[in-house]
Amino acid sequence: MEISTSLPRFLRKPAKNEERIAGTIQSIQCSTTEVDFRVLADGKSYTFAHGVPGRVEMGWFTVASSQIPVTCGSGPLASPAILTFTRNTSFANVDGELKSIEFVPDGFVP
């Protein structure tokens, strides 16, 4: 079975009020209250936040992406990802609250 047809079955399904985009993480910046993920998708820049303490769900669908350090101060991350988020957020100056990051093969389109 080809990965482009089988992978969508394994991706996290967006919950009610969640959206997802395909992009690359340009940087990860941390403070004592939130983690900000700066993302490039379709030629646009986005900032998604996640509260501290807290956890963003993670998924790896390529061997290469499993070696990428997803830590404060890292970026840009070379592997493309599917990012799931909500637009309704209590964080200021962000595009949404990040719920999950799923690293996918180059060229994959959800």
Tell me the pTM.
0.88
What is the rounded average pLDDT for all residues in the chain? 89
Rg (CA), the chain: 13
The pLDDT tens digits for 30-66 are: 999 999 999 999 999 999 999 988 889 999 888 776 7
Confidence bin at 6 (pLDDT 50/70/90) = confident
For the domain made up of 18-103, the CATH class stated in words is mainly beta
Which of 64, 82, 62, 67 shows the shortest CA–CA distance to 11? 82
Q: How far apart are CA 54 and CA 61, in angstroms?
A: 23
Domain boundaries, the chain: 18-103
